Amino acid sequence: MSGPDKPKVIGEEWSDERVKAFLAIEPYDTGIDPDFNALLKAYYAMRAEDFARFIGFFVDAGRNLNARDERGQTILDRVSQHRRSADYAEALKQAGAETASDTVH
Asked, for residue 7, whether it belongs to a domain, the answer is: no
pTM above 0.75, yes or no: yes
CA distance 2 to 10: 10
Q: For residue 80, is it within any domain?
A: yes
On whether residue 89 sits in a domain, the answer given is yes
The answer to whether residue 46 is domain-embedded is: yes
Give domain status of residue 28, yes or no. Answer: yes
The total number of structural domains in the chain stands at 1
Distance (Å, whole) CA 90 – CA 79:
10
Do residues 91 and 51 lie in contact, with contact meaning Cβ atoms separated by under 8 Å? Answer: yes
Q: Has residue 102 been placed in a domain? A: no
Residue 24 in any domain: the answer is: yes
61-73 tens-digit pLDDT? 999 999 999 999 9
pLDDT tens digit string along 67-100? 999 999 999 999 999 989 999 999 999 999 999 9
| Residue 101 within any structural domain of the chain | no
Domain that holds residue 53: 16-94
